[in-house]
Homo-oligomer: A and B are copies of this chain.
Amino acid sequence: MPARKLNVGLLGCGTVGGGLVELVARNQALIRQRSGVELNISRILVRDTAKQRPGVPESLLTTHPEKVIDNGCDVVVELVGGIEPARALIQRSLARRKHVVTANKALLAIDGFSLMKAAALQSVRLGFEASVCGGIPIVRALREGLVGNRVESLSGILNGTCNYILTRMGEDGIDLDTALRHAQDNGFAEADPALDVDGFDAAQKLKILAELALNVRIGVDAVRVQGIRDITRDDLEHASNLGFVIKHVAGAHTNNGGVALSAEPMLLPRSHPLAAVNNENNAVVVRGDAVGEVLFSGKGAGSLPSASAVLSDLVDIACHQGGFTASPDAKVAATQVVEDARYYVRFPVRETTAIGSISDILERNGIRVSRAAAIWARNGDGQHQVRLLTEACSRQRLDVAREDISRLPFAGGTSLALRIAD
């Protein structure tokens, strides 16, 4: 097979960029043998050319983006991250009819459709396998492998940091701050973990996957987001005694012609396909009208897994130039509220007699309690926890009731409500 050569301009040479350079060098012959594609990294944009980068040829480095984009490359790989200048660099590349591959989930979440449209107008391709779930080929699976399916729902563990923290809290009986420190020590969490632990990273990835899977556009604020900061090891232990694990789950469900989207910690029964996905791993369950449920899981981030995803996009572009692009003319989805569900709710209170009053207020809001218990505080600070499971109810009504309860004299702080998966 004669080799098809693909000249690659690389914007950014951090964790993923460095991994890409390493992987291309290591598996060049294998990739050529498999696909007939010869990848050539022709130029690399960096901030500081003097920095030591083992394995990266110094002669390729430049601090001028135009030297990467305008120098005759076939495809530009954007690994700069963030909104600007990443967006301007991608737009410039597309305008010059370069294919683009990006791992930039934040940018795609706010601007994915207009970038896809710009790519389609220029008849070039925009690859973004690396933006979601690292090396798991989920974008390709949705675009191609499951193309004949009407996707009914999609749910996943999309944030490795949250999953690592919740797994360690549950298995080691440590608190959230300790687990977060372990995550940071092991490279599974950023120095500033807010985007991860508050749920926004998962929400961005969900938006990308849901637009692809459901073939709709989704409004920026359509995802109900809840982070994991309020979850204690007691919550995990209590859930475990009831047969559940707690996971941060991002999900999209079609529902009365619209889409309900949420990224939130949930109680999953141990038999749930996502319940066994532990530590920094990611996973996605897609339910299609033909295939039923399909599960994909693996490492959701990291240098080489993400580089593997970038590589698959590059080979795809080399093999199928001018081929498949996602249709950028999808309609904006009607966003639905999350359907009625059972909830695990915990109220911090100052009196053990509070259970009755709490149940009364819940019932006045149309919420039935299926199971309740008061637990004495472990720390001897005089604070009790009332924990209960509700029957299926509306999240809106539950939040109204929680608000009412928080104003009662015995209330001891903010309550926590976690959805229970069916």
Residues of A within 8 A of B (CB): 1, 19, 23-24, 26-27, 30-31, 33-36, 129, 134-137, 140-141, 143-150, 215, 273, 276, 283, 288-299, 304-305, 307-309, 311-312, 315-316, 319-320, 323-324, 326-327, 329-330
Tell me which residues across on chain B come within 8 A of A320, comparing CB atoms.
319-320, 323-324
Minimum Cβ distance to chain B for residue A322 (Å):
9
For A1, the closest partner residue in chain B by CB is B327
A141 and B144 in contact (CB under 8 A), knowing A27-B150, A319-B320, A319-B323?
Answer: no
Residues from chain B with a CB closer than 8 A to the CB of A330 are 33
Which of B291, B293, B326 is the one whose CB lies under 8 Å from A308? B291
Give 24 A-B contacts (CB < 8 Å), ordered by A residue: A1-B329, A19-B290, A24-B148, A27-B149, A27-B289, A30-B150, A31-B147, A31-B148, A35-B147, A135-B288, A135-B291, A137-B141, A145-B309, A147-B315, A288-B308, A290-B304, A290-B311, A291-B298, A292-B299, A294-B296, A296-B296, A319-B323, A319-B324, A320-B323
Q: List chain B residues, Cβ under 8 A from A136.
A: 291, 294
Distance, CA A297 to CA B295, complexed state (A): 5
Residues of B within 8 A of A146 (CB): 135, 137, 308, 312
Chain B residues, Cβ within 8 Å of A307 = 148, 290
Contacting pair A140 B145 (CB below 8 A): yes
Give the dominant DSSP class at A's interface. Answer: mixed
Distance between Cα atoms of A309 and B137 in the complex (Å) = 16
Q: Are B298's CB and A292's CB within 8 A?
A: yes
Q: Given A145-B137, A290-B135, A315-B147, do A33 and B327 touch, yes or no (CB 8 Å)? A: yes
Contacts of A145 in B (CB 8 A): 129, 137, 140-141, 309, 312
Distance between Cα atoms of A15 and B295 in the complex (Å): 24
A140 to B140, CA, bound (A): 8
Interface centre among A26, A308, A326 (most CB of B within 10 A): A308
Inter-subunit contact A149/B308 (CB<8 Å): yes
A298 to B297, CA, bound (A): 12
- Bound CA span A30–B149, Å: 8
- Report which of B293, B298, B324 forms a contact with A35, defined as CB distance below 8 A: B324
Q: How far is the CA of A294 from the CA of B141 in the complex (A)?
A: 13
- Say which residue of B135, B137, B291, B309 sits within 8 Å of A299 (CB atoms): B291
A100 to B20 Cα, complex, angstroms: 35
Taking A296-B295, A323-B320 as contacts, is the C-beta distance between A311 and B137 under 8 angstroms?
Answer: no
The complex places the Cα of A136 from the Cα of B299 at a distance, in Å, of 19
A249 to B134, CA, bound (A): 27
- For A135, the chain B residues whose CB sits under 8 A away are 146, 288, 290-292, 294
Q: List, in ascending order, chain B residues with CB within 8 A of A144's CB.
A: 137, 140, 144, 312, 315-316
Residues in B with CB closer than 8 Å to A309 are 145
**Contact with A291, one of B134, B150, B295, B323 (Cβ below 8 angstroms):** B134
CB < 8 Å: which of B141, B295, B315 contacts A141?
Answer: B141
Q: How far is the CB of A262 from chain B (nearest CB, A)?
A: 23
Q: How far is the CB of A114 from chain B (nearest CB, A)?
A: 17
B contact residues around A276 at 8 Å (CB):
273, 276
Contact assessment for B129 and A315 in the assembled complex, using a CB-CB cutoff below 8 Å: no
What chain B residues lie within 8 Å of A148 (beta carbons)? 23-24, 27, 31, 307-308, 311-312, 315
Q: With both chains docked as a complex, state the minimum distance between the C-beta of A149 and any C-beta of chain B, in angstroms.
A: 6
In the complex the two chains form, what is the Cα distance from A150 to B276 in whole Å? 27
Q: Which residues of B contact A137 (CB under 8 A)?
A: 140-141, 144-146, 294
Cα A343 to Cα B304 in complex, Å, equals 35
Assess whether B298 is in contact with A293, with CB atoms less than 8 Å apart: yes
- In the bound complex, CA of A318 to CA of B273 (Å): 34
A326 to B23 Cα, complex, angstroms? 21
Query: Nearest-CB distance from A63 to chain B (Å)?
Result: 28
